Amino acid sequence: MPDETSTPPPPPVTVGVLREAGSERRVALVPEVVETLVARGLEVRVEAGAGADAWFADDAYAAAGAQVTTRAAAAASDVVVSVHRPGPDVLDVLAPGQTLLGLLGARADRDGLVELERRGVRALSLELLPRTLSRAQTMDALSSQASVAGYRAALLGAETFARYLPTMITAAGTARPAKVLVLGAGVAGLQAIGTARRLGAQVTGYDVRPAAREEVTSLGATFLTTSVTAGAGDGGYARALTAEETAAQQAELGAKIAGFDIVITTAQVPGARPPLLVTEDTLDQMAAGSVLVDLAASELGGNVAGSAPGRSVVTAGGVTIVGAGDLPSRMATGASTAYARNIAAVLGVVVVDGAIALDPADEVVGALWVGADLAPPPASVTVPSVPTVEGEGA
């Protein structure tokens, strides 16, 4: 006979996966990672069609142990995970005690997340992760997605460029290798350098941080130097340059950029306008057929004058500028898989012994948690599990 006085086990922590809005093709969790989370004792609810644009079918999620359900049911989970900040249809219905986890844009718009915190919804924004912490490397979504972007940027530059990248010896003669310049030697830049080198191009890298020289040359590329240098700033990024330094940098780079066939720019500032590295005057000096791939292109601006997010623009002089701020979305399967592993690593820190436990004193949680430095939110409310109707959302 069972012991009628025994306490029933608590319900499992539920994790909801949303389908992203607009043109975003990535998904926050993939079946491979869902299977791991279910094995940990979590209950995963996936909005029907959430992974379709990244080629992850609903059947694959179900086979991994997830419930494929409605958007409302996924959004009612204890932890709601997403790539970008969800829209009002989700944010407005989140209840006290729930946790929202993803690339929430905390640097660009913190006020909206603070409002969630005031309502008792915990917001964990991956952009705030301290990237210099060794234990945070497996959670570093900015780096994982930047690696995808850098790899794809080199391929996009090669595809757009109307000549060979490597030295090619043919019956019609020998073609010289393309000259590729990568501006910025962070994660994206180093991946772009390595990929362009593997494609056979003659590659040069540039960064304002002198310490980047060793990383660039270790990949077999040449390091471009200017008189403008800057050490690392907050979060492992290069510090912002002064107006005088920016002008000097643009002038020196402009004189050298004109000699390259493909230029890949990677200098991004989370939540802020990226630095202008390639001016209109520099574009006018470049040869017809040259290609620029701007990874910083967004509504906030880009590294290249005239770049437009998601579009290719050809100047009057025949130079193609590719606004490529969305490359991880264009490589959705690989990018989603890497991102899902980041999400799983964060969940391993915030779900402890079968319950959500956010410790603001923890160096990772305290950094990610938008409300860690605010007044304590209202007492957590247990969010009831939402039953999944058989066949719902299929």
Tell me which residues are annotated as active site: 131, 137, 140, 143, 237
Q: Are 67 and 57 in contact (CB under 8 A)?
A: no
- C-alpha span between 334 and 289 (Å, rounded): 30
Q: Which amino acid is at 363?
A: E
The DSSP letter of residue 52 is G
- String of b and e for 201-217 (b: at least 16 CB within 10 Å)? bbbbbbbbbeebbebbe
3 state SS of 107: coil
Q: Measure CA 379 to chain center.
A: 32
Report the distance separating Cα 327 and Cα 341, nearest Å: 19
- 219 forms bridges with which residues in the sheet? none
- 3-class SS at 233? coil
DSSP, collapsed to helix, strand or coil, labels residue 182 as strand
- The alpha carbon of residue 279 and the mean position of all alpha carbons in its chain are separated, in whole angstroms, by 26
The span from the CA of 240 to the CA of 242, in Å, is 7
